Amino acid sequence: MHVLIWSPPWPTQGGDLFFGLNAFKKALLRQAEALLSQKCKVTIAFPDAFSDHVAGFKGRCDLVSISSLEVIKLMGGWADPSVDLYVNGADSRFVPKLAETFRTRLPETVDCVLLWETPVPYLRAIYPEALIVSQMPGAFARAPYPHTIIFDTLGLYRDGTMFANAEHILSSNAPCSEVVSAFKATAREIFHQFPIPLADRIRSSGRKFTLLPLQISDHYAFKADTGFSSQAEFCLEALGQIDDSKAVVVTQYISNMYKDVVMTPEFTAFLAKKHSNLEFDAELGNIPSVSQHLIQDADEVAVATSGLGLQAMIWGAPLKVVGNTHLSPYDGCKVGSEKQRDNALSFALTKHQPMASKINDGRFLIGLLEELMSRRQRPFDERYPRFSDIDPHYDELLLSSFRQTEVERDFIKAGATIEIPSKEKQFSTVLKDQKPAVISFDLFDTLVIRGFEAPADLYRLLELEVIRRGLRPIFDFAGKRLAAELAARRHSPNEEITVDDIYSELAESEKLPFEEIRPYRDIELDVEVAACHVRPIGKRMFAQAKAKGIPVVVTSDMYLPRSCIDAILMRTGYEPDAIYLSSEVGLTKKSGSLFDHISRDRGISLTSMVHVGDNIRTDIEPAESRKITALHVPKSADHIARHPLLSAVFTRRPPMTSLGRSVTAAAIAHKLFDDSKVSSFESLSRGDPWLLGYVTVGPLLLGMASWVRSVAIEMKLEKLHFLSREGRIIKDAFDRICAEAPCETKSNYLYGSRRAIRVAQLETFADIAELASQTIARTASLGTLLSGRFGLDPATVATEHLTASGFSDMRTRLGRSAADHAKLLNLLKGLEPQILDIARCEAANYRGYLSESGLFSNEKFAVVDVGWNANMQGSLGQILGKPLIGLYLASLEGAGRWKNIGHTVRGYLAEDCAVAERHPILSNRLMLENMLCDITPSVERIRRNHDGSFEPIFSGDTSHVRRKLVHPIQQGARSFVDDVCRTLGSNISSVDFRPDIMTSLLADFLHAPKPVDAALFVGCELEDTFSGTAKRYFIAPKTGDAYASYWKRGEAALLSSKSDETSRDSHVAVNPHGPTMRRPMVQVVRPFIRLLGNSKDIKKFDKDPAGYFRTLKNPTYRAIGTIMFPLQQKSRG
């Protein structure tokens, strides 16, 4: 293959002759090196101004130096021709003279051209048959993302593939790559830890906001596609198009290479006079790529050509595209569904924007170019190979290449967060003090993790994989595989065994020839490789060692063959300088002899080594016995036994346990205890709602969704309708499982609510009376009940109806006695015509919506919801005129009414439970509903549009406090589901996630919460408009109203912690964020401060969270502060 590397010889970006030098050196020349390593023929054509940078290529490839001054003279001036070349393409006035000039200097033919962010119609004229690949930084090029590069065979911007084929990409019905959900989950987890206070301030004031990120004024695509001469002009136009009711947060383009500073004090003041909704904070420019961090809270992102448009799809933030740009097909008015957004992300991440590190890998680059060339004439669906077709480990490498450390460094430097103790910091100190000649890393549980509580549990997955691949089942294969390993170790005269030794023992015990047992061994090797993922703390330490130029070796006591270890390292992206494997050299770390071998092999003293490992017995003690400096990075799962809450659920285990327990325990341990320096044993969340969701809600969600899938298959259901709003997250989990293990049952998110469905179902006064008999909150007023339950506007109720029924006004608190209920029924009888008129109108629309959703068809379906008495199922059944199937987390005995008339009601945790108060989850039903409930407002009714389509009409807004608490809880739960799905793959369908394991952590949390976990819920309102409740909280921010706090156990945990405050040593030093708190804690509490305080309180809190709480008079608030922001003892030494 002959590849031309091309860099244009004229000035770009405002007349800078050297603007393209950075990309030339760091991208194109590295690609040239990669191609040369694969014996490709390479020609590098470059401006003569760059000559000094290609000296290393002389004699290795053809170098074509092009005089910049000659070409500038040819074009008639210094001006950048890129706009004309981009807009006019082959018809550009520059193409004939450039093609004629370059044709005589460049190779006559080439197979491929690689270039960087420049339109090249003249090269397409010279090489009409060549594959011409345009490159530029990808939408995910900046930290913490894994640094992707757009790799486009058509061109860039409006010439590019994602513009030309936008309709095809967005409308695709093909399943999205599983890596998309994992990528989104990882991004959300990282960005959640780095919030921006400005966004919180806007949100807590009750306003929505649009993010307006400014870019580079002199970029050719910006000028050509928007028609604006500068970012200032773009900013003015965008502000004029954005709804005045929204705040507009403006950010500027500031990077290490280029700055476009538009928002001067004078221009900002000018804009503010015209647009009072403008929000600009110059200090945000101190945080690199700050726009990326603001997207997570934005309601909308206004863009022209910014790559942030694609990032916004991770968060579901709609785009407002200003100008006719390449992003126009992705405007919010055209892209409204999660499937469309995932389609765009899937294409970008898996086919269009590879990682820079892989493009610099010669084997991958050649493989990708060859595939692209061979597919050029195919239909669009087949034209672009998946990157995982080139490298089967690509998806894993993508997910392990997020760069959180860089963001942490930038935030610390900007003073936006504090540095906390970590194993990485300890490792850095060791390197500085020891200056080692070699650093040795253990592999398993140090650099890589497998998603199992103990290594032997992997054999359970191996057994399932053997069956899935159609091999002859061996009874209790997992147990026999473990026994064979133990036998091999007993019989071996050597320090280490091999995997063949193990399978020889298994063959002998099964009385089979080795050749028949070999396929089982081969499957084990595949499973071992696929099970390995990067351990984040190990990856960071490894990268730190490599960055210092210290030789790094991997040292492992492992029976697996070298080929398997090589595959694991390739999959996880580690490139050690050497590998020392016990099965290869016959020596072990455990005995210390493997360390002696390394010393001899590398010609260094043992004392000049540093070894990093997870096991005291096989890593730390043998290394230290040789005077090697050893750093202990404890295995994540080892901490389970030390954690009182986790050890109570994951009790003492046998040598192998069930896969359901094993993967659940491992996922939680890996998330909580990756870095033991920041681990906490006094809580499940470390004060972070995302972690709380991962640890408590995630297992319940996975267990229920897996059960729903199994029941759907068992009952041969064609479709599942997940009822809003709790059904949203359950559907997401179901869909994620089905992405790994497809089934024929389809899923649908069905809009509805108790208010929408029950009102649409009303036909007679008997229906009204039955609806009135449902639970009414103690604090319910007449007005809130009539509006929230019956759809009546209280203002339309005549006064005579009220007085005739014994009510004074709409604020009257409803009693709970029989006499009070009779008064209510009397009023409702008088209002019957109004209520039934509303019901008839809403019923027509709701029936139409149900028909459009297929519920009136003969399709066999079930409704899925969190559960309890199946009243929504029953009401839907009455509307549809047939009994239904309902699948729930749990049902109470009240569901029996519907079962008696033909409905089917199934529960994962419990069915027809009669003593709900004895179960922590069922006795806190409203709390669980609110934790699972999607943060979109409740559906009031369904509206039919002029075009005949249906859309939900929502009631009210989601509070900022709820958004800051519930949304991260749900994202954490989704991330847990994703992690387990990645561990088990298609075999997840065969794993039994028993409710006794999957719901226990949530049950224990609800029953006996730790104060730091309970404190997260203070001041967050519950949503329960159907019961007519007045304002009520998970835990009320003020004491005195016994009913205001729903979660009594949580409130009690906080109150009991008051004594801790008085017993603290008075000599303390403030640690504002607490040793075990994650960064989001400040942002969780801040809305609560704004709710109860004023701007001065906010400033005091921002300066010193712990100190602020200590000055408060209210003892409950002081106790909360003590928990959320603990103080550290001053050093006595």
Burial degree of 490 (CB within 10 A; 0-12, 13-18, 19+) = exposed
Within 13 Å and on the Cβ side, how many CA atoms surround 829? 8
Taking the model in full, what pTM does it have? 0.89
Q: What is the pLDDT of residue 257?
A: 65
Could you give phi then psi for residue 555, rounded to 5 degrees?
-125, 120
User: Distance (Å, rounded) from C-alpha 708 to C-alpha 836?
Assistant: 36
Which pLDDT band holds residue 1041 (cuts at 50, 70, 90)?
low
| 305-309, 997-1001, 1105-1109, range with the lowest pLDDT | 1105-1109
> In the chain, what are the domain boundaries?
2-137, 157-399, 423-447+535-633, 1025-1129
| Whole-number Å distance between alpha carbons of 75 and 62 | 26
Residue 1026: per-residue pLDDT: 63
| Spatial separation of the C-alpha atoms in residues 1123 and 1133, rounded to whole Å | 26
Provide the total of helices (H) and of strands (E) in the chain, helices listed first.
56, 29
Query: Rounded to whole angstroms, how far apart are CA atoms 845 and 762?
Result: 14
Nearest to 1085 by CA among 1055, 1038, 1125, 1054: 1125
Question: How many alpha carbons lie under 13 Å from residue 615 in its C-beta half-sphere?
Answer: 15
> Strand 904-913's sheet: what is its strand order?
746-750, 719-723, 861-868, 885-892, 904-913
How is 422-436 classified by DSSP, letter by letter? -HHHHHHHHHHHH--
d(CA 450, CA 1006): 30
Q: How far from 240 is each of 184, 233, 271, CA to CA, in Å?
A: 32, 11, 11
The b/e string for 404-427 (b: 16+ C-beta within 10 A; e otherwise) is bbebbebbeeeebbeebebbbebb
- Residue 30's pLDDT band (cuts 50, 70, 90): very high
Lowest mean pLDDT among 218-222, 276-280, 359-363: 218-222
What pLDDT, on the 0 to 100 scale, is given for residue 205? 86
Q: How confident is the model at residue 1058 (pLDDT cuts 50, 70, 90)?
A: low
Alpha helices in 76-219 (DSSP H): 82-88, 95-103, 121-126, 161-164, 166-171, 178-192, 197-204
Neighbours of 546 (CB within 10 A): 16
Q: Is the pLDDT of residue 468 over 90?
A: yes
Could you identify the residue written with the tokens 């509070």?
A: 959
**Cβ atoms within 10 Å of 654's Cβ, excluding its own:** 8
Q: How far apart are CA 794 and CA 784, in angstroms?
A: 8
Instruction: Answer left, alpha or beta for residue 716, where phi above 0 means left and psi between -120 and 50 means alpha.
Output: left
**Residue 194 to residue 472: CA distance in whole angstroms:** 51
Q: What is the pLDDT of residue 1088?
A: 57
What pLDDT shows up at residue 1116?
Answer: 59
Residue-wise pLDDT for 953-996, tens only, equals: 888 777 888 888 999 999 999 999 999 999 999 999 999 999 99
How far apart, in whole angstroms, are the C-alpha atoms of residue 211 and residue 232? 15
Q: Look at strands 62-66 and 112-116 and give their pairing.
A: unpaired
Torsion of CA 526, 527, 528, 532, to 10 degrees: 110
C-alpha distance from residue 502 to each of 444, 458, 479 (Å): 19, 15, 13
Alpha carbon distance 966, 683 (integer Å): 18
Mean pLDDT of 183-190: 95
Gap between the Cα atoms of 247 and 235, Å rounded:
14
Averaged pLDDT, 60-67:
96
Q: Any bridge partners for residue 132, and if so which?
A: 113
Please tell me the distance from the alpha carbon of residue 773 to that of residue 759, in angstroms, as a whole number: 14
Between the alpha carbon of residue 126 and those of residues 28, 120, 373, 966, 1051, the distances in Å are 20, 10, 18, 58, 75
Q: Average pLDDT in the 447-475 region?
A: 94
- Per-residue pLDDT band for 1044 (boundaries 50, 70, 90) equals confident
Q: Please give the Cα distance from 729 to 745 (Å, whole number).
A: 17
**pLDDT higher than 90, residue 374:** yes
Residue 808: alpha-carbon gap to chain centroid = 52
Euclidean distance between CA atoms 49 and 62, whole angstroms: 17
Q: Residue 850 contacts by C-beta under 8 Å, 6 or more apart in sequence? A: 856, 876, 879, 880
How many Å apart are CA 792 and CA 240, to the nearest integer?
38
- Predicted confidence band of residue 261 (pLDDT cuts 50, 70, 90): confident
723-727, 786-790, 1119-1123, range with the lowest pLDDT = 1119-1123
The mean pLDDT value of the chain amounts to 90
**166-180: per-residue pLDDT in tens?**
999 999 998 888 899
Task: Give the integer Cα–Cα distance in Å for 1109 and 982.
Answer: 42
Residue 1042's pLDDT band (cuts 50, 70, 90)? low
- How far lies 850's CA from each of 394, 760, 843, 880, 901, in Å? 42, 11, 10, 9, 22
What is the predicted pLDDT for the residue at 83? 93
Could you give the percent of the chain with pLDDT greater than 90? 70
CATH T-level topology, domain 423-447+535-633: Rossmann fold (3.40.50)
What value does the mean pLDDT take over residues 12-38? 92
- What integer is the mean pLDDT of 399-428? 90
Residue 893, pLDDT above cutoff 90: yes
Residue 6 phi, psi (nearest 5): -125, 135
**8 Å CB contact between 827 and 768:** no
DSSP 714-735: HTT-SEEEEETTTHHHHHHHHH
Judged by average pLDDT, the poorest of 847-851, 1007-1011, 1098-1102 is 1098-1102
Over range 1077-1088, report the average pLDDT: 52
Neighbours of 231 (CB within 10 A): 26
- List the beta bridge partners of residue 5: 44, 114
> Mean pLDDT throughout 725-739?
95
* Confidence (pLDDT) at 1090: 54
Sign of the CA dihedral with 894 first, then 900, 901, and 905 last: positive
Cα 185 → chain centroid: 1
1002, two tokens: 């949530």
pLDDT of residue 563: 96
pLDDT of residue 270: 94
Q: Are 665 and 643 in contact (CB under 8 A)?
A: no
Choose between 363 and 176: higher pLDDT: 363
User: Is the separation of the CB atoms in 235 and 250 below 8 Å?
Assistant: yes
**Residue 196: strand, helix, or coil:** coil
Beta-carbon neighbour count of residue 795 at 10 Å? 8
The band of 1092, judged by pLDDT with boundaries at 50, 70 and 90, is low
Reported as a single tens digit per residue, the pLDDT across 633-661 is 999 999 999 999 999 999 988 889 999 99
Which residues make Cβ contacts (< 8 Å) with residue 516, sequence separation at least 6?
507
Structure confidence at residue 51 (pLDDT): 94
Please tell me whether residue 93 adopts helix, strand or coil conformation. coil
Could you tell me the CA-to-CA distances from 978 to 350, 462, 667, 740 in Å, in that order?
Answer: 18, 20, 10, 10
833-858: average pLDDT: 91
In this structure, are strands 938-944 and 131-137 parallel, antiparallel, or unpaired?
Answer: unpaired
Q: Which of 329-333, 925-929, 1124-1128 has the lowest mean pLDDT?
A: 1124-1128
Predicted local confidence at residue 1039, as pLDDT: 62
- What b/e readout covers 508-545, taking b as 16+ CB neighbours within 10 angstroms? eebebeeeebeebbebbbebbbbbbbbbbbbbbbbbbb
Cα dihedral 1092, 1097, 1103, 1108 in deg (nearest 10): -70
Region of 56 (left: φ > 0; alpha: ψ -120 to 50; beta: rest) is alpha
Q: How far apart are CA 412 and CA 143, in angstroms?
A: 15
The pLDDT of residue 692: 96
Report residue 306 as tokens.
Answer: 């910014």
Backbone φ and ψ of 687, nearest 5°: 80, 15
